[in-house]
Amino acid sequence: MGKNKLSRFAEMESFQRVFQPEVDFNSPDNTLKGNWHTNVFKNNNPIVLEVGCGRGEYTVNLAQRYPNKNFIGIDIKGARMWRGAKTANEQNILNAAFLRTRMELVEKFFGSNEVSEIWITFPDPQPRESKENRRLISPMFINRYKNFLKAVPSFTLKQTTNNFSITHTKW
């Protein structure tokens, strides 16, 4: 792994609202689950996720625009996430947080009715049919999201193709 990545990972450890827990499929639910409002944001405002947040452009910008909502960027790519996390830390954006984990494990981090809205912007298309379950907009993932979304959750999706079918998502 490059020195640059390692230094970014290390720097992220010092950011207050960045979480990089070591979790796998056999791990119990994380202590964050059901506790984002009380332990992280210290308020009861709605939580919005940016799934596959990359550099966290939406997490940071929306958090700045909507101080009465909480935003959490989730991705496994820490070197990219560092950019948004660093901005949020430097600008002391208290309603933005970042969670570095695999999306397959997301249910270990959010309790029932804990999330109000999900944004998905330019997800990895995973074009091979054999990897269709890895697509963040596949029914498998949507069903996972349902476990922690409120009764009438909303999704916002941006990408470069108008075919949102699980079998034809592409760049």
> Minimal distance in Å, beta carbon 155 to other proteins?
5
Q: Please identify which residue in 4, 31, 91, 164 interacts with other proteins, judged by CB under 8 A.
A: 164
Q: How many degrees, rounded to 5, is the angle at CA 29 between CA 84 and CA 87?
A: 10
Give yes or no for residue 161 binding other proteins (CB under 8 A): yes
Nearest by Cα to 119 from 75, 168, 167, 88: 75
Listed in sequence order, the residues at least 6 apart from 139 whose beta carbon sits closer than 8 Å to its beta carbon are: 166
What is the three-class DSSP state of 56? coil
Total of residues contacting other proteins (CB under 8 A): 31
- For residue 92, count other CB atoms closer than 10 A to its CB: 8
| DSSP 3-state of 148 | coil
Which of residues 30 and 98 has its CB atom nearest to other proteins in the complex?
98
Pick between residue 39 and residue 113 the one whose CB is nearest to other proteins.
Answer: 113
Nearest approach in angstroms of CB 41 to other proteins is 20
Q: How far is the CB of 121 from other proteins (least distance, A)?
A: 5
Q: Does 58 bind other proteins (CB under 8 A)?
A: yes
Residue 127 one-letter amino acid? P
Q: Which of 121, 134, 140, 147 binds other proteins (CB under 8 A)?
A: 121
Of 21 and 66, which has the nearer Cβ to other proteins? 66
Q: How far apart are CA 150 and CA 148, in angstroms?
A: 7
CA 93 to chain CA centroid, Å, is: 16
- Interface with other proteins (CB under 8 A): 54-55, 57-58, 61-62, 65, 121-122, 137-139, 142, 145-146, 149, 152-162, 164-166, 171
Kindly list the catalytic residues: 124
